[in-house]
Structure 1
Amino acid sequence: MRWTLQSKPESQKVQALQHALNVNEIIATLLLQRGIESYEQAKQFFRPTLEDLHDPFLMKDMDKAVTRIEKAIENQENILIFGDYDVDGTTAVSLVSSYLKSYYPKVATYIPDRYKEGYGVSFQGIDFADDNEFTLIIALDCGIKSIEHVNYAKEKGIDFIICDHHRPGDEIPKAVAVLDPKQDDCSYPYDELCGCGVGFKLIQALSVRRNITIVELLPYLDLVATAIAADIVPITGENRVLAKFGLEVINSNPRSGIKALLQNVKKKQLTISDVVFIIAPRINAAGRIKHGNEAVALLTEYDLDQAEIFASEIEQHNSDRKELDQQITKEALLQILENKEENRFSTVVYQENWHKGVIGIVASRLVENYYRPTIVFTKSGDKLAASARSVKDFDVYNALEACAEHLEQFGGHMYAAGMTLKEENFMLFKNKFEEVVQKTIHPNSLKPEIAIDLEIRLEEINEKLIRILKQFEPFGPGNMAPVFLSKDLNDTGYGQAIGKDEEHLRLFVKQQNSQGFGAVGFGLAKKKNITENHKKFDAVYSIEENEWNGKTTIQLRLKDITNHQKTSE
């Protein structure tokens, strides 16, 4: 692991912010590192309000979208809410459909089949709309590249409103309205919304026209917070507001579907991290193993008893998904070894019978093993389909653009993408992708980095510090949980390997005369020897509260440890 310690802000700025906020040096430094330099900025950071949300009509085409929906309602048209099968798509469909259905009945939902239709807007979905007399389709979390699909729908007398957050191509679909803050000519102040976030801006705009206050939209924010967490968008600006209030809904009064998913969770207060690891995988499992419709059915169900039935089915899908991704990951790692590809700059693997629903997860697992841009292919109909995952600071989307001659289609983000190609082009693509990565990736991007905010002493950790750090939440990209470095530590002799396979490390650490803290490092048991016999070591960690048997204690969550004299900064 590569440790990089952030440079400290100017001491004058630190002192000025300390004075303005009446906080200690650690807090002032962390705030400045996050771009917060004044009392007003700190107030907005620590106390976000719904008034901080932008006017939805600042988004290009929002007025056209609202006018077309109002016209559809006035003319008693059938409206189809169409969305992708992942968490962002299914939450967005659940959000917009349940909002519209609250005052207009002629609304239905459509999630494409991952295996028969693939990602995004499908011709099959448009045919469904035509057969069932839908004249307006609202596409969520997809559609920004669906040029031909929108034209096909227009020929059938079906209008499109696109609500997307992916990067547009050179041409924009000729829809009635295209809501995507990443369009070059869209001047919306915040362009990092997820698909469900764009959907929320649409219902916010509809509510403005209906004289409904933003407070009345609070119950929908559990869906938005779930999508923000799952889609790994920055938790800054407007996303921070939506995530904070959405988490409050999840923890106080979530919809029946989310309540049903959480019925066996003992934690009092869920964080964004809990949403990522508890709620999101289960919602995703429906589309991965069976069909995304099951996720929408769960998230739009008002009856708790029925929601619990849906949730138990989804729980089974999630168990199946875990078994599949573990098996496929083993097979993929074996393929890399057999092909002697351990030292390449990229990983591209393929097996025709791998389950399409879990190849994205497998790609993430392979990144954990080899830490390089990774693509996992499987057979899908008469083509190959793949999921790509990247590493820090490497834009996999740009790399795919450089290989576009070998691809049928592709789309996605800097760190995650999907694509299809003809089987005969697989090796051409694999070789070209390796060539592009080798030429463009920075050597540092091939070694996992731990970004450290600040070096502190253990004696500076106390309950007041924890209380203020908790107000930095919700954490996520753009506002990660603070990471600290402390040097010259030693274990008091209680160090042990823990866990079913004894992979994890538990210590009780001290620093000279400071009080000791319990510490746990997942996957760090192999470094236990560094801490034995009271040897000095340095540690990188975040600080958390640990609840056990009704008692709450301060605990260090170790990210890495190293011999004291070997620390690199």
Structure 2
Amino acid sequence: MEWQILESQRYLEIMQRLQVGTIVGKVLDFRENQDPGKTPLHDYGLLKDAKKVLERLEKAIFTQEKVVVYGDYDCDGIMATSILVSAFERRHLKVGFHIPNRFVDGYGLSVARVRQMHEKGYTLIITVDNGISAFEACEEAKRLGMDVIITDHHEIGSKLPEAYAILHTGLSPDYPFKGISGGFLACKLGCALIGSQDAYFHCLAAISTISDVMPMVDENRTLVKCALSVMQEKRYLNFELLLGENQRYSTTSIGFTLVPKINSIGRLVDGLNPSKCVTYFRHAIAHDAKEREFKMQFASLATKINQSRQKLTTSQYALATTNMNTDEDVLFCYDKDFHEGLIGLVAGKLTKTYYRPSFVMHLDEEKGILKGSARSIAGINLYDLLKKNKDDLLVYGGHELAGGFSLELAKLNDFETHVKAYIDDIRTPDLFVEKSHAILLEDRDISLENVRGLEALQPFGQGNEEPTFAMRLSHPIKIETLSDKKHLKLTFELSHARLSCLWFNHGEVYNQISQQQHFELFGQISINQFRNFENIQLILQDLR
């Protein structure tokens, strides 16, 4: 890790202008948007086709038409589906819904599912979190006399499907912010359909925003900040059961505790039908004892499935590192034993560990087909890489840092060669050097009041990252290990507070630093509460 330490020169002026503390002033000195205030939620009516969609849905409600909502198997798609199903229910129209099976249906609306829905008598399909590339499915629906309304947020290609209407921020020149999730887009439509803003819909949309790692800026930040406050106050049963007791609602607890349990159901479909997720989330509360019992059983099973997913991911990662040369500039591995639903997680872990682009593939031996997931690093645009090598691939998709693809096993060597050639063409001397920035803090900056001021910048996420700080401190009053020498802890007595520095899973460096007196520390600062006692802690990322 290579650190660039940033020293603020303008924090005093920012403090006076915005009436903030020194830590917030120093953070804002390095951010384009220096006003931590709220952006209002943008109006549904600014979306292209907004009026056309609502009029079509009002007609469907009036005539009690057979409508089906077609979602996706990830958390964003499940939240989006739950919102629209609930909105129609409030308008007294019971609609069908389908969450595709990752291994049977694949991603997105398919011709086979369109035909099946037609046979069941559906005349209107609404896609959520998918559809912008469903060309053949939309053509088939049109041939069968069915209307398709697409609501999606994924990248738009060179042409559009022949749908009745499309809601997409990228097609809406009047819509001021483009980076919203499928769930947030469905929330806007759902609120327009019921004629009012809805706190529970906002909570589901916020979860989808966190799960899809959408930019935590503009209206996304407003949505998530308000929704977390609502969740903390309302304590909805659906979220309480999945988070566990006494959890504080935050982007961290949602992103690392609740979201993985929902995503694991789509990854390991053996244990629970993903469509049950919609049944679980569409009602904010349990209306009777039977529904409450269902919710409790669902949450318990989701927790068990996620535990299985965690164990399986660990073993799959071990398999991946056994089968690859981790010294290469690009990491490739494939195996018939890789689980199709986990290859993305394994690729992500490889890239995080080795700071290299990684391609992990499941081999279907019978068909001779590899289905892969890839993750990348800053400076290597994965979508552009896949697009430029599309002749090697059967299908591909994704964005700058993550993507999916499939190819014939016979084409793998060519694909590897072309990927390496692409990277050679864009190579720079520091391409594979992981770089991070840290804002320098002084001893006198550290106080409960100053650290608490960082709450004004929350929620953190992409585009509004939690700041990393650097501190140069000397003479710790204590250096120790915790949890049977697994973790390292340093304690410093500062001018206005005591600072605890925790370095998880680095207890092994204790002997190296136990006699060291001067330290350069890098990490994220927060207030830890335990038994009504508050103390300031720095969660370390590095130490020198």
TM-score (norm 2): 0.92
Q: Residue deviations 1:298-329, cap 9 Å, x none?
A: 22253333201111111111111011100100
Contact 1:287 1:293 in 2 (8 A): no
After TM superposition, give the deviation of residue 241 of structure 1 in Å.
Answer: 1.1
1:128 Cα offset (Å)? 2.5
Give the equivalent residue in structure 1 for 2:376.
390
Q: Which residue of 2 aligns with 1:228?
A: 209
Q: Deviations over 1:450-492 (max 9, x none)?
A: 221x211133111111221112111111111221111143432
Q: Which residue of 1 aligns with 2:23?
A: 26
Aligned counterpart for 1:182 among listed residues 162, 170, 174: 170
> Distance between the aligned counterparts of 2:6 and 2:113, measured in 1?
49
Q: Distance in 2 between matches of 1:82 and 1:412?
A: 20
Equivalent residue number for residue 369 of structure 1: 353
Q: Which amino acid counterpart does residue 490 of structure 2 have in structure 1?
A: L
Aligned to 1:537: 519
CA distances 1:259-311 after superposition (whole Å, capped 9, x unpaired):
2212x3433x2210111100000011111111422322322253333201111
- Residue 128 of structure 1: SS of its match in structure 2? helix
Select between 291-300 and 477-486 the one with higher mean Cα deviation.
291-300
Cα distance change of structure 1 residues 384 and 535 upon mapping to structure 2, 3 Å threshold: same
The offset of 1:134, in angstroms, is: 1.0
Determine the structure 2 residue equivalent to 1:508: 491
Please say if 1:493 is aligned against 2:478: yes
Provide the C-alpha distance between the structure 2 equivalents of 1:391 and 1:510, rounded to a whole number of angstroms.
Answer: 38
Report whether the alignment pairs 1:451 with 2:437. Answer: yes
Alpha carbons of 1:405 and 1:254: their partners in 2 closer, same or farther (altered >3 Å)? Answer: farther
Q: 1:29 to 1:554 in 2, by over 3 A?
A: closer
Of 418, 421, 424 in structure 1, the residue corresponding to residue 410 of structure 2 is 424
Whether the 8 Å CA contact 1:287–1:295 is kept in 2: the answer is: no
Corresponding residue of 1:378: 362
Distance 1:29 1:457 in 2: 11
The equivalent residue for 1:83 is 71
Match of 2:246 in 1: 266
Equivalent position SS for 1:491:
coil
Is residue 88–residue 95 contact of structure 2 (8 Å, CA) maintained in 1? yes
Distance (whole Å) between structure 2 residues aligned to residue 441 and residue 95 of structure 1: 45
Among candidates 400, 405, 411, match of residue 386 of structure 2: 400
**RMSD of Structure 2 on Structure 1 (CA):** 2.1
2:275 pairs with 1:293: yes
- In structure 2, the residue matched to 1:143 is 131
1:339-350 aligned within 5 A: 341-350=325-334
Query: Post-superposition shift, 1:25?
Result: 4.0
Secondary structure of the residue that 2:457 maps to in structure 1? coil
Counterpart selection for 2:255 from 261, 268, 276: 276
Cα contact 2:6–2:440 (8 A) shared by 1: no
Aligned residue among 389, 411, 418 for 2:397: 411
Question: 1:352: how far off?
Answer: 1.7
Cα 1:441–1:92 shift into 2, 3 Å = farther
Separation (CA, whole Å) in 2 of partners of 1:552 and 1:309: 36
Which residue identity is paired with 1:280? V
- Give the AA of the match of 1:447: V
| 1:231-275 Cα deviation digits (max 9, x unpaired) | 11110001001111221232222543222212x3433x2210111
Percent identity over paired residues? 28
Unaligned runs of 5+ in 1: 563-569
The 1:172/1:350 distance shift into structure 2, 3 A limit, reads: same
Distance in 2, matches of 1:235 and 1:517, equals 29
Summarize the alignment of residues 210-359 of structure 1 with structure 2, pairs less than 5 Å apart.
212-214=195-197, 217-262=198-243, 264-267=244-247, 269-290=248-269, 291-301=273-283, 302=286, 303-336=291-324, 341-359=325-343
Instruction: List per-residue Cα deviations over 1:341-378 (Å, max 9, x = no partner).
Output: 32222112111221111111111111122111112111
**In structure 2, distance between residues paired with 1:75 and 1:257:** 33
Q: Is the 8 A contact 2:128 2:151 kept in 1?
A: yes
Separation (CA, whole Å) in 1 of partners of 2:6 and 2:50: 40
Indicate the residue corresponding to 2:510 in structure 1.
528
Q: Does the 8 Å contact 1:492/1:534 carry over to 2?
A: no
Residue in structure 2 matched with residue 565 of structure 1 by the alignment:
none
From 103, 109, 114, give the equivalent of 1:126: 114
Judge conservation of contact 2:21–2:453 (CA < 8 Å) in 1: no
Q: Secondary structure at the match of 1:446?
A: coil
Aligned equivalents of 1:416 and 1:391: distance in 2? Answer: 9
Tell whether the 8 Å contact from 1:491 to 1:531 is kept in structure 2 after alignment. Answer: no
The count of residues paired between Structure 1 and Structure 2 equals 533
Partner amino acid for 1:266? N
Whole-angstrom distance in 1 between the partners of 2:129 and 2:430: 33
Asked whether the equivalents of residues 219 and 254 of structure 1 are also in contact (C-alpha less than 8 Å), the reply is: no
